A = this chain, B = another copy of it.
Amino acid sequence: MTVTIYDVAREANVSMATVSRVVNGNPNVKPSTRTKVLETIERLGYRPNAVARGLASKKTTTVGAIIPDVSNIFFSELARGIEDIATMYKYNIILNNSDQNRERELQLIDTMYEKQVDGILFMSDNISKEHIEQFKGESVPVVLAATYDEKNRVPSVNINYEAAGYEATKYLIDQGNERIAFISGDKEAVINQLKYQGYIRALKESFLPINDDYILNNQYTHDDAVQSIQQLLEMTDKPTAVFTTSDELALGAIHGTQDKGYKVPEDLEVFGFNNTRLATMVRPALTTIDQPTYDIGAVAMRLLTKLMNKEEVEESNVILPHRIVERNSTK
């Protein structure tokens, strides 16, 4: 059957402890016996059992990642960043889709605890008291990635969404636009609210009126945005620019505009968010906020490795830089 550490020990005429030492790279082994053990491991085709190891050592070298939806391009880029750093530090990722469903999120966290993960990476639009309680109830470190907790109760990696929203809107204002629409995803999502606040701040600062008709904050897909931009374009005082909270929505805005016979950016300037790969896969190419998506995942995972390793962490609520990438969807 399967060959165990015991078989190797017997065949190599050493104790299991010694085999364990060489497998774990413990230096306290005489070179000659090390080679002997290594040889018989090779010969027998021994492969350590991570489950047994996990039970004995209370470490599984596995982390749980709870993500709204891997098939969403933003999150899949995040996931890739997480995965790459995890690999670098010899961790495996158990990936779970939550669809932002709170019940499911809570249940997934529980399952991750059952599986004895060494750490958790959590992504969601909103985190509640129940989330925090569940995290605090265990000693497993948690890091939030692209997920905002106003009270910073949990380590996290984000960008400054409010500033980004402000800058995008300001950019549009500086282009001479006075009627700027705002198209966002779920309005309950804290991150979208922050972007919205930035939008409002920029308008107010320039003494521009806030027109509720220009604000559509429950759009989810490309096609939703196609619809809603067309609706805006039918107004008599139609907007001349739109700021959207994701690139996918921005593509929808561009296409909706074009479908109606208008031109981007001549008739409508479009500003996106995230700078996902979609941003260059459209014509005109999208002006957008470059959010270092991959890096957020990578930095969050790196932070988690430090936490799991009980290393000192200077700053546990990391804010990564963002910037405006100008392309042709704005003048």
Residues of B within 8 A of A248 (CB): 281
CB of A154 closer than 8 Å to a CB of B: no
The distance in angstroms between the C-alpha atoms of A83 and B104, with both chains bound, is: 14
- Asked if B281 contacts A258 (CB within 8 A), the reply is no
- Hey, what's the 0/1 contact readout for A198-222 against B, CB within 8 Å counting as 1? 0000000000000000000000001
- Asked if B55 contacts A51 (CB within 8 A), the reply is yes
CB of A60 closer than 8 Å to a CB of B: yes
Tell me the minimal C-beta distance from A202 to chain B in angstroms.
28
DSSP majority for the A interface? helix
Residues of B within 8 A of A62 (CB): 94, 115
- Asked if B83 contacts A76 (CB within 8 A), the reply is no
Indicate the size class of the contact surface on chain A.
35 or more
Most buried by B among A50, A72, A258: A50
- Hey, what's the 0/1 contact readout for A45-75 against B, CB within 8 Å counting as 1? 0011111101100001010000001111100
- Asked if A96 contacts B70 (CB within 8 A), the reply is no
The distance in angstroms between the C-alpha atoms of A48 and B258, with both chains bound, is: 56
Which residues from chain A sit less than 8 Å from chain B, CB to CB? 47-52, 54-55, 60, 62, 69-73, 76-77, 79-80, 83-84, 87, 92-97, 110-111, 113-116, 222-223, 248, 251-252, 255, 258-259, 277-278, 280-283, 294
